[in-house]
Amino acid sequence: GETIQGLRNSLRDAIDTLSRVDSSVAVSSGGELFLRFISLTSLEYSDYSKCKEIMIERGEIFLTKVSLSRNKIAKLCHPFIRDGARILTHAYSRVVLRVLEAAVESKKRFSVYVTESQPDQAGQVFINLVFTLVNRVKALRKLNIPVTVILDAAVGYIMEKVDLVLVGAEGVVESGGIINKIGTNQIAVCAKAQNKPFYVVAESFKFVRLFPLNQQDVPDRFKYKADTLETGQNLTEEHPWIDYTSPSLITLLFTDLGVLTPSAVSDELIKLYL
């Protein structure tokens, strides 16, 4: 017969397979959350088939809520973009794009600086990244927002002109810090040095049960591309794709649970994993 335990095991396998993708932080945290609430369901209902029904139903609700979350975040965040603001952002985040759309809808004028967000690897990967970047710039240009692409190295130079920094996150860790594309930490440090607010937008399913104390503590499976991990080369010679930005550099986090200060994030995580 089928059991909850069996279901849990097969779900865990599914999550592992899904997590073998590149940039797996969000996937793995979302999967972890889903797995977590299965244990909650099984505590409430002992009948297996009933359990399964409820889970499917809740899964649907979860999906709807998650798809609404981007709009919720945009609604919370766009008042923080003033008319005439100059925004700096990093890499490609769909949530940030949605926030900018919401700001445009509320008739605000602003300009955006986007970093190239280069990897320092040549070839195939480089072309992919340029493709992503061009998509980003194209998407913004459609909204008639003046966009300038800048070198990653030019962040310190451009920071004095910028009013605020807005980035997405691949994962939000327990300390209130974020895991995001490499280069985010640098931008955060520059922003702090020049007293510019550093805002992060992320959906709540990205909250991860990690507490890195430094860059080394971030697990390798998040830092490197899946192919690199599989070939089993010496990872010290590889360039990471992800860095950790500490909570002291972040001003506010905008999530679908509300506007949070970094210290409030750990509270939210505790509430979940109580």
Any idea how long the chain is?
Answer: 274
Name which position in 7, 80, 121, 238 contacts other proteins (CB under 8 A): 80
Name which position in 24, 89, 204, 245 contacts other proteins (CB under 8 A): 204
Q: Compare residues 14 and 272 and give the one whose CB is closer to other proteins.
A: 272
Give the HSE-up count for residue 206: Cα atoms under 13 Å, Cβ half-sphere. Answer: 26
Name which position in 33, 99, 102, 250 contacts other proteins (CB under 8 A): 33
Cβ(212)–Cβ(243) under 8 Å? no
Q: Compare residues 85 and 150 and give the one whose CB is closer to other proteins.
A: 85
Q: Compare residues 18 and 40 and give the one whose CB is closer to other proteins.
A: 40
**Alpha-carbon span 249 to 227, nearest angstrom:** 32
Q: Compare residues 155 and 260 and give the one whose CB is closer to other proteins.
A: 260
**Alpha-carbon span 39 to 268, nearest angstrom:** 19
Contacts of 59 by beta carbon, 8 Å cutoff, 6+ apart: 34
Tell me the per-residue interface mask from 130 to 169 with other proteins, x by CB under 8 A, - otherwise. Answer: ----------------------------------------
- Phi, psi for residue 245 in degrees, rounded to 5: -110, 125
CA nearest to 188, candidates 244, 123, 250, 272: 250
Q: Compare residues 48 and 80 and give the one whose CB is closer to other proteins.
A: 80
Name which position in 79, 84, 146, 156 contacts other proteins (CB under 8 A): 79
**Burial tier of 116 (Cβ tally within 10 Å: 0-12, 13-18, 19+):** middle
DSSP bridge pairs for 164: 87
Q: How far is the CB of 161 from other proteins (least distance, A)?
A: 17
Tell me the per-residue interface mask from 247 to 266 with other proteins, x by CB under 8 A, - otherwise. Answer: -----x---xxxxxx-xx--
User: Which residue reads 């980035």 in tokens?
Assistant: 167
**Which residue type sits at 1?**
G
Q: How many helices (H) and strands (E) does the chain have?
A: 10, 10
Q: Compare residues 13 and 267 and give the one whose CB is closer to other proteins.
A: 267
Q: How far is the CB of 257 from other proteins (least distance, A)?
A: 5
Give contact residues for other proteins (rule: CB under 8 A).
33-34, 36-37, 40-41, 58, 61-62, 65, 79-80, 82, 204-205, 207, 252, 256-261, 263-264, 267-269, 271-272, 274
